[in-house]
């Protein structure tokens, strides 16, 4: 790849070091124009598009609740399951996209694999 070139859509994006994302914590990474919220739910990592499907608001600005495995949009209270992105209550009815997460010795990685 040439320096300064845009990586392909399937390229993994580094989120942080594994030690920087403890249970109950979250981080946001960007894959091109896509913000991705990565959360640590009791040691398992999940990634969702960081945009509420009801309003285009960052889910990372809301509340991540490990007890219910959900993230709540701060604007209108829509909640989404962090494990699969499904909408859990009104006013959101559409899910948010979920993405793969990979962990290795060099970091926590995710990608927008929608192509």
Question: What's the CATH number where 97 sits?
Answer: 2.102.10.10
DSSP state of 67: T
> Where residue 21 falls among pLDDT bands split at 50, 70, 90?
very high
Report the pLDDT value the prediction gives residue 104, as an integer from 0 to 100: 96
Q: How many angstroms separate the CA atoms of 74 and 2, rounded?
A: 41
The secondary structure of residue 96, as a DSSP letter, is P
Domain contains 110: no
DSSP state of 78: -
Domain total of the chain: 1
Is 78 part of any domain?
yes
Render pLDDT for 32-82 as a digit per residue (tens, 0 to 9). Answer: 999 999 999 999 999 999 999 999 999 999 999 999 999 999 999 999 999
Is residue 9 situated within a structural domain? no
Do the domain assignments include residue 51?
yes
Cβ neighbour number for residue 30 with a 10 Å cutoff: 12
Tokens of 115: 């192509």
16: in domain: no
pLDDT confidence of 10, banded at 50, 70, 90?
low
Residue 83 sits at the vertex; the CA angle it makes with 23 and 53, to the nearest 5 degrees, is: 115
Say if 6 falls within a structural domain: no
42: domain range?
A: 25-104
Instruction: Determine, yes or no, domain membership for 32.
Output: yes
Q: Indicate the SS3 state at residue 4.
A: coil
pLDDT band, residue 115 (cuts 50/70/90):
confident
CA distances to 5, 7, 41, 56, 69 from 82, rounded to whole Å, are 32, 27, 8, 17, 6
**Residue 45, in any domain of the structure:** yes
- Using only C-alpha atoms, the chain has a radius of gyration, in whole angstroms, of 14
């Amino acid at each position: 790849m040439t320096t300064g070139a845009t990586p392909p859509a399937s390229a993994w994006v580094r989120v942080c070091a594994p030690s920087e994302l403890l249970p109950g914590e979250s981080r946001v990474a960007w894959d091109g124009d896509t913000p991705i919220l990565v959360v640590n739910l009791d040691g398992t990592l999940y990634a969702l598009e960081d945009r509420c499907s009801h309003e285009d608001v960052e889910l990372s600005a809301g509340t991540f609740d490990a007890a219910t495995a959900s993230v709540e949009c701060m604007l209108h209270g829509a909640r989404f399951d962090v494990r699969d992105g499904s909408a859990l209550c009104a006013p959101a009815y559409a899910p948010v996209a979920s993405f793969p997460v990979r962990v290795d010795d060099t970091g926590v990685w995710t990608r927008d694999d929608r192509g």
